[in-house]
A and B are shown apart, each in its own frame.
Chain A
Amino acid sequence: MRVLIQKELRAQLPFMWLVLFITVAPYVAGALTKSFGLETFDKVYGEGLVNLGFEYTVISFLICLGCSYGLLVREIDDRTIEFLDALPVSRTQLFVAKWMAVMAVLSLFPIVDSIVMILIRRLSATSLDRSYHFDWIATSMFLQWLQLFCFLSIGLMFSFFRRFGWLLLGLTGWFLMILGRFYPQFQLGNLTLFSEAQFIGLRWLVPWDLVAGYVLVGVLCLLVSYGLFLGGGRSLLAILTAKDSIGKQILLYATSFLIVLVLLGMMTMSAMDDEELESEPDAVRVHFPSWSTATRTTHHYNVVFPSNLSVRANELLDHADGVYQTVAHFFQYEGDTVIQIDMTSSSSHHLGTAYWNKLKMDLTAHEDLAGLQRTLGHETTHVILESLSDNHLRENFGSVRFFHEGVATYVERRFFTDEDLADQRLAAAVLKHRDDVSFDRLVDNEQLRREHDTLLAYELGEVFAAAIVSRCGDEAIGRIAHTFADKQNYEGLTGVALWRSIFQSAGYSLNEVVDEYYTLLSAADELHSETVTKLAEIHPIVQQENGKIRFQIDSAVPEGWKIIIRFRASSEAADDEYWQAKFKDGIATTSANRFVGRAAWYQIGYQKESGYPISQPWQSIRLTK
C-alpha cells in the first residue's frame, strides 16, 4: 500500500508544484507591492483565513476538478487499469491510494496558507492582540480541507461522465442558481464555508449545518465514484461512447425531462400566486377581456398607453410638452429626440423608470394631473441627464445614482410642486440631526444599500442638487452631466474621486458644493427642528424564543407616524429579497429561520401614511441557532 501511495504521489508531483505555485504566488506578488509588517490584523486573518470569499471557493473547485478529472478515469480510458488489475492489489486499495495521494497534495493549500499566515502574523502583530489564534487556524484548515474533500469527491464522480460531466456540472450550477433565487440560503455565495464568518466574542462559530451538508455530499459522491471505479465506470464509458446507445437516449430524455421539470416549476410558481386557483379549484372565476393599447405622439413624446386609461393619459399628454420644455429649459438641453413612453405596465416599486430615450410610467399611480406631471418631469429629467452624458451616467451607476435621483427629485419638487423646497426636506433634516448624512457614503450606492437605505439617494441627492444650483447656478447641473460624455474625465475613478474629477473638469469645486450641501442640511434641521426632535432614534428590545425573534418598542410614536421594520437574510441580500413585519401593540416578530448565517439583520424607521420611510442604518443581532 505504501508503495502504491508513493507511486501515486510521484504521479501527482506536477499538480503539487501547481498547487504550491498558486498558493505562494499571491504572497510573492504581494511582497513586491506592500510591506507585510504593516498589514492590519483584519486584512491578514480576516481576508487570508476567515472570510476567504467566493473567489477562493471557485479556485479550489477548479483545482479539485483538474486533479479529479485525470485521476481515476484516465486509468480506464487509457486501459492501464488492466495492467493494474494484474498486480496483487485490489481496486479498493488502488482507489484509496489515489484518493490519499491527491488529498495529500490538495492539503498543501490550507497548510501552506496557514504557515504563510503565521509568518505574516509574526511580522505584523501589535500589542492590541499578539495571539496567533491557533483555534482560528485550526478551524480554517478544517473547513478548507472539508471543502477540498467535497469538491474532489464531486469532481471524481463527474469525471466518469467524461465531457458530459461538464454539462452535468453546469446544470447543477444552474439548478442551484434557480434554487437560490427562491431560497436565499441556497445561493452559491451562501453555500461556501468562508462567506460572512460569524463570531461570538472571539469564538468563530463553525457553520455546522453547512459542514454537515458538505460531509454528506462529499461522502455520497465519493461512494458513487468508488462504485464506478470498481466496475461501473467501464459500463458508463460504453454507454457514453457507443453509437446510437441508450446512453444518448437517456441523456436526451433526461435533458427533456429537466426542461419540462423547470417549465412545470415555473408554471407551479405562477399558479401559486393565484391562491384562489390553488385552494379552490372549483371556485367561480371571472375573466375580463384584456385592454387594448393606444398610442399618441406629441412634439416630444411617442406614447403607448392602455385604452382603459385614455382620459388620464390624454389629460397628461395635453400638458406633456410643457413638462418637457420646463425640464429641457432648466438643463439648456437642445436635443430633438422623441422620447418613447410605455404607460402599459405598472410597477409595485416605482412610479416610473427611465432608459436611453425611453421611459416607463405607471398611470395608475396617480389620478390627479399634478401627480402625473411630477412623475413625468422626474423621469424626463433622467432621460435628459442620460442624453447629456451620452449614456455614461448609467455606466457609473454605483457612484452617480444619488445624483441621478437627486437631480430628478429636485426638478420634480422645484418645478412641479407648489411647496417651498426647504419645506420638503423633513427626511433629510432627521438624517442630519442623527449625523447620518455622510457624503462619502452617499456616493457609494453599494455601501448605502449595505448599511442604510438606497432611498436616501432621493432625499439627500435632492439636497446635493440644490447645493450645486445654490453654489454654481442653474446651468451647472446640465454642465456636470455633460462632462460625463467624455470618458477621460472619470476613467478608472469611482466614488468621491470620480466626482472630484468631474467637478474639476466642469470648472466647479466639489468642496464648495459639499460644504453647501451640509449647510442646507443644517438649515433643514433647524427649520424642521420641532418634528425632528419627536422622531428620536428607535432602539427595540430584542428577544429570541422558539425560533422567533421579537422586537419590542417601549417608546411613544409621534402622532401621524408609524414605525416600520424590515429584514434581510444576509448583508448581501438584494433589495427585492427584503421582507417586512408589522408592529402590533409595539411588538413585531419574524422567524429566525429566514436568516442566513448567524446574524439577524433588521432596519427600523418611521413612516407617514404616504412618502418615503425615514430609516435608521441596518443593524444585526446574533442568533441563538
Chain B
Amino acid sequence: MWHLVRKEFSEHGWLLFIAIPLSLFGFLIVLAGAQVNEAGSPLEAVRFFGLSLFLALELLLCNRLVVQEYSGKTQLFLEALPISRATMLLTKYMLGIVIATATLTATLMFALVVGMRGETYDARFIALVTTRLTVFVFCTYSFFFMMGLLGRYRISIYVLLALFWIFLSQTTEFDTGNHGPFGLLNDKFAYERTIYPTTNLIVCVAAGIAFFAVSMLMGITREGSIAGLLAERMSYREKLFMAIVLISMFFAGSILNEKKRPQPYSIENGISRVTGRVAVHVENASETEKGASLANQLADQLHDELVAIEEFLDVRNPSKLFVVQRSDLDADRFESAWLENASGTLVRVNYLSSKWNYQEFQPFIIDKWLSESTNYNANFEPQCWVLEGFSDYWPRRMHANASTEFDPKLQVDLRAAYAGSIAFEGSDVNSWYRYRERVGEPIARAVACAGLVLAEREYGAEKVREFLQVMLGREQPGDVRADFRRWLRPISVVWKETMGSDYEVFQSQWASELRNLSESFKEELSKCPILKAECEFSAKSSWSRELLISPICDPLPQTNSITIRYNELTAFDVWEHDYESETQIETYNAGLVIRVHRLFSRGERIRWTTSTRVPELGCDVISGWQRVEVE
C-alpha cells in the first residue's frame, strides 16, 4: 500500500506541489478580501474557499488520481501487481481525502488565529465548525471520486447536475443553498454557535457513503471493466451529440419555465365579482361604510361591463381584473402595472376621490383588459386602432343608445371632428403609433371610434361585431402562431371577409367623413385651440444645450396655461407612455418662448410636445410629439 502511495506521489507530486500552495494562496487572497470588505468573520473566507477553490482542488485531485489512471489504461499494470483492486482504489481514495482534509484544516486554523483578535471561540463552536467541514469534505470528495470513475460521461453529468440544480432553485421552492453540502457551508457557518444542522449532517454522511459505495462497486465489479469502459475517450461525433443534447435540454427547460402559466394575482380585502370566466376584484381600501359602498359599486360596474364585452366579442380567455386604490393619484389618473410571476390585469386608481368619474375610466380599463385578454395581439400597430376605437365605441354605444349619427354633444364625437379639422388621412390608420403621437391618445381614440361608428352605419352592426370578434375576441395565441395568423389574414383581409368591402376604400371614406364632420361642428370647434410649437436649442457650453420652445395657440387657451412635456429617448424608437414624461407648466401669452428647466447634452435624443387642456373636448390637445436629436 505504501508503494502505491509513493507511486502516486512520484506521479502527481509536482502538481500537488503547485496546486496546494496555489489554493492556499488563493485562500489568503479570499481572507484579505474578506477583511477589506469588512466581512463578519474570517471564517467567512473558509466558507468561500470551501465552496470555490477547495472544490476545484478536489476535482483536480480526483482527476489526477482516478481519471488519468483509467483513461491511460495504466490501471491494468496496477492490477497485475499482487494487490487487490479494492486496495488500489482505497489507497487512491484515502490519499486524496487526506490531502483535501489537510488543506482545509490549514485554512481553518489560519482563519481561527486571525479571528481570535476580534472574536471569542469556545469549544462548542470549534467542534461545530469542524464537524461541518469534516462532513463537507467526506461528502464532496466521495462525489468527485465517483464522478472520476464515470469517465467520458462525467463532464456531461456535471453539466446536467448543474442545470438540474439551477432548475431546482429557480422553479421550485427547494432551497438549494441550505441543503446538501452547500447547506453545511451556508451563510450561518461562520456565526452559528450552538445549533448543529443535524439533518444536513446525516444526509451528507449518507450521501458520502453512497458515493463511496458506488465508486467501489464500479471499480471492482466485473474485474473493474465498467470503469475501464467508461474511461474510453469520447469520439468527436459523440461530443457534438452530447453538446447538442445538453443545449437542447437547456432550451427545453427555459421554454417550460416560460410556458408555465403564472398564478393569478390576488389582493387583500378584495371585493370579488365572478361570472363564468370573467372575474373582477376591487380592493376595499377604506374602513368606512361609504368607502366599502364605492368599492362595491365599482366592482358591480366593472363586472357588468366586462361580462357584456366578453359576450359581445366572444372573448375566450378573459384576463382577471384587479383594481387597487391609491389616494395619492388624481381622480383622472389611471395606472396599469406589469405583473411579474402573476397573471391578470392590475390597475390602480383613486376611486374614493370625490372627483372620480367612471365614464373617464371606462376607455382605459377596456383597452388594458382587452390587451391582456388578447395576449397583446390587439396592440399590433396595423390593428391597434380597432382596440383603441372599441374602448371609446363601447361606452358611446351605451350612452348614445346605439346611434350611428355623430352628435356634437358627445365629447368623443367632438374630438373626432377636431381631428378632422387638423389632420387625418386614411393612410394614418396604417401608421397608428405615429398618428397617435401627432394628435395625442384621446383624440386618436376618438378618431378610431368614429371609424367603427361609420362602419356600423355603412355595413350594419352585425358585420362590425363579426369584425371586432376576429380582431379582439375569440382565441388569441401568444406565440409564433399569432405571427402566422397575421401574415395569412392581415387586417385588410379580415375586413374584406367580414365587411365585404375594400379596406383602403373605407379608409378614404373615413377620412372624408371626419373632414365633413369638422365642417358640420365648426361652431362647437371654434373654441378649441389648435396648438403648434417649434423648438430651438441654444448652446450653454460646447456640450450643454438649452431647449427653447415657442408655442402658438389659436385661439388662446381657455385655461391660460401651456404644458411642456418631454422625455429622453434611446436610439431605439418605441412607443413611450405619456406619463413617463417630465412636465413644465407655463402661463401662455403671444410670442412666448419657454425655456425648459433642464439642460441637454449634444447627441442626446428627446421627445417633446406642448399641450393645453380644452374643457369642451374633455382632454388635452397637443402640438404633436416630436422626436429630435439635440444639435
- Minimum CB–CB distance for B298 against chain A, Å: 15
B340 at the interface (CB under 8 A from A): yes
Q: Mark B229-251, 1 if CB is under 8 A from A, else 0.
A: 00000001100100110011001
Q: Cα distance A274–B575 when bound, in Å?
A: 55
With contact pairs A14-B236, A504-B268, A511-B326 given, residues A38 and B377 touching in the complex (Cβ less than 8 Å)? yes
- CB of A511 within 8 A of CB of B266, answer no
Tell whether A342 is near chain B: CB-to-CB under 8 Å: yes
Q: B572, A45: Cβ atoms under 8 Å?
A: yes
**A355 interface contact, C-beta 8 A:** yes
Instruction: Note all chain A residues with C-beta closer than 8 A to B118.
Output: 293, 304, 342, 344-345
B residues less than 8 Å from A200 (CB atoms): 602-603
| Inter-subunit contact B38/A355 (CB<8 Å) | no
Residues of B within 8 A of A295 (CB): 120
Q: CB of A522 within 8 A of chain B?
A: yes
Question: In the bound complex, do residue B543 and residue A41 qualify as a contact, i.e. CB atoms below 8 Å apart?
Answer: no
Give the contacts of B100-138 with A (CB-CB under 8 A): 117-120
**Does A424 belong to the interface (CB within 8 Å)?**
no
Task: Given A35-B478, A515-B326, check contact A353 B40 (CB 8 Å).
Answer: yes
Cβ-defined contact, A542 with B483, below 8 A = no
Task: Pick the interface stretch among B184-192, B504-512, B612-620.
Answer: B184-192
Give complex CA distance A287, B267 in Å: 65
Tell me if A330 is interfacial: C-beta within 8 Å of chain B.
Answer: no
Flag if A391 contacts B188 (CB, 8 Å). yes
B543-A622 in contact (CB<8A): yes
Give Cα A515–Cα B324 distance, bound, in whole angstroms. 11
B543 in contact with A128 (CB, 8 Å):
no
**B571 and A199 within 8 A (CB):** yes
**For the complex, what is the distance from the CA of A545 to the CA of B25, rounded to whole Å?**
45
Partner of B544 from the list A34, A350, A518, A543 (CB cut-off 8 Å) is: A543
When each residue 551-576 of chain A gets 1 if its CB lies under 8 Å from chain B and 0 otherwise, what string results?
A: 00000000000000000000000000
Q: Report A-chain residues with C-beta under 8 Å of the C-beta of B17.
A: 252
**In the assembled complex, which residues on chain A have CB atoms less than 8 Å from the CB atom of B376?**
35, 38
Q: Please, which residues of chain B bring their CB within 8 A of the CB of A504?
A: 266, 268
Check A40 against B574 for contact (C-beta < 8 Å).
yes
A/B pair count, beta carbons within 8 Å: 238
B contact residues around A344 at 8 Å (CB): 117-118
CA distance A508 to B269 in the complex (A): 9
Q: Cβ of A358 and Cβ of B41 under 8 Å apart? A: yes
- Pairwise interchain contact A36-B193, C-beta atoms closer than 8 A: no
Contact B194 A35 (CB under 8 A): no
Query: A31-61 interface mask toward B, CB cutoff 8 Å, 1 = contact, 0 = none?
Result: 1111111101110011000100000000000
Taking CB atoms and an 8 Å cut-off, the chain A residues in 237-279 that contact chain B are: 248, 251-252, 255, 259, 262, 266
Check A591 for interface membership: any CB of B closer than 8 A: no
**Across-interface contacts of B431 in A (CB, < 8 A):** 127
Partner of B605, one of A50, A201, A266, A358: A201
CB of A454 within 8 Å of the partner chain: no
Inter-subunit contact A487/B173 (CB<8 Å): yes
With a cutoff of 8 Å between Cβ atoms, the chain B residues found around residue A544 in the complex are 542-543
Residue B359 lies at the interface, judged by CB distance under 8 Å to chain A: no
Interface stretch (choices B143-151, B252-260, B413-421, B451-459): B252-260
Q: Which residue of A lies closest to B571 (CB)?
A: A199
Interface residue? A92 (CB, 8 A): no
Complex Cα distance A356/B571, Å?
Answer: 46
Q: Which of B370-422 contact A (CB under 8 A)?
A: 375-377, 379-381
Question: Once the chains bind, are A511 and B324 in contact (CB under 8 Å)?
Answer: yes
Task: Check A624 against B173 for contact (C-beta < 8 Å).
Answer: no
B193 contacts A46, CB within 8 Å?
no
Answer whether residue A581 sits at the interface, using C-beta atoms and an 8 A cutoff.
no
- Known contacts: A37-B482, A199-B571, A509-B285. The answer to whether A25 contacts B541 by CB under 8 A is no
Neighbour of A542 across the interface among B22, B117, B544, CB < 8 A: B544
Tally chain A residues at the interface, Cβ within 8 Å: 92
Interface size class of B (residues with CB under 8 A): 35 or more
Checking A337, A345, A493 against B38 with a beta-carbon cut-off of 8 angstroms, the contacting residue is A345
The answer, yes or no, to whether B75 is at the interface (CB within 8 Å) is no
B555-583 interface (Cβ within 8 A of A): 570-575
Interface 9-mer from A16-24, A96-104, A459-467: A16-24
Q: B465 contacts the other chain (Cβ, under 8 Å)? A: no
| Shortest distance between the CB of A494 and any CB in chain B (Å) | 8
The distance in angstroms between the C-alpha atoms of A355 and B326, with both chains bound, is 36
A17 and B574 form a contact (CB under 8 A): no
**B597: interface (CB < 8 Å):** yes
Q: Is the CB of B22 within 8 A of A255?
A: yes
B519 at the interface (CB under 8 A from A): no
Query: Is B523 in contact with chain A by the CB < 8 A criterion?
Result: no
Residue on B nearest A130 in the bound complex, by CB? B431
* Chain A 583-625 per-residue mask, 1 if CB under 8 angstroms from chain B, else 0: 0000000000000000000000000000000000000011010
B117 neighbours in A (Cβ, 8 Å)? 293, 304, 344
Q: Which residue of B lies closest to A515 (CB)?
A: B327
Residues facing B in A112-132 (CB within 8 A) are 123, 126-129
Asked if B598 is at the interface of the complex by the 8 Å CB criterion, the answer is yes
Residues of A contacting B532 with CB < 8 Å? none
Question: Would you call A128 and B380 a contact (CB within 8 A)?
Answer: no
Residue A302 lies at the interface, judged by CB distance under 8 Å to chain B: yes
A200 to B602, CA, bound (A): 8
Minimum CB–CB distance from B318 to chain A (whole Å) comes to 19
Contact residues in A for B194 (Cβ distance below 8 Å): 337
In the assembled complex, A503 has its CB within 8 A of some CB on chain B: yes
Q: Are B187 and A128 in contact (CB under 8 A)?
A: no
Q: Cβ of A357 and Cβ of B542 under 8 Å apart? A: no
CA distance in complex: A173, B296 (Å): 63
Q: Which residues of A contact B377 (CB under 8 A)?
A: 35, 38
Query: What A residues does B339 contact at CB under 8 A?
Result: 497
The answer to whether the Cβ of A6 comes within 8 Å of any Cβ in the partner chain is no
17 pairs of residues in contact across A and B, judged by CB atoms under 8 Å: A25-B247, A35-B478, A127-B434, A128-B434, A129-B572, A204-B571, A255-B22, A304-B117, A340-B120, A345-B118, A353-B38, A355-B191, A357-B193, A487-B175, A518-B327, A539-B599, A543-B544
- Taking A492-B173, A504-B266, A542-B599 as given, write out 15 further A-B residue pairs in contact, using a Cβ cutoff of 8 Å, ordered by the A residue number: A26-B251, A29-B255, A32-B479, A34-B480, A40-B574, A46-B572, A126-B575, A199-B570, A293-B118, A355-B41, A360-B38, A495-B340, A497-B340, A509-B268, A543-B543
Q: Which residues of B contact A (CB under 8 A)?
A: 14, 17-18, 21-22, 25, 32, 38, 40-41, 117-120, 170-171, 173, 175, 177, 187-188, 190-194, 236-237, 240, 243-244, 247-248, 251, 254-255, 258-259, 266-269, 283, 285, 324-328, 339-342, 348, 375-377, 379-381, 430-435, 437, 477-480, 482-483, 486, 540-544, 570-575, 597-599, 601-605, 627, 629
Which 6 A-B pairs rank lowest in CB-CB distance, beginning with the nearest?
A127-B431, A200-B603, A355-B40, A31-B480, A129-B573, A201-B629
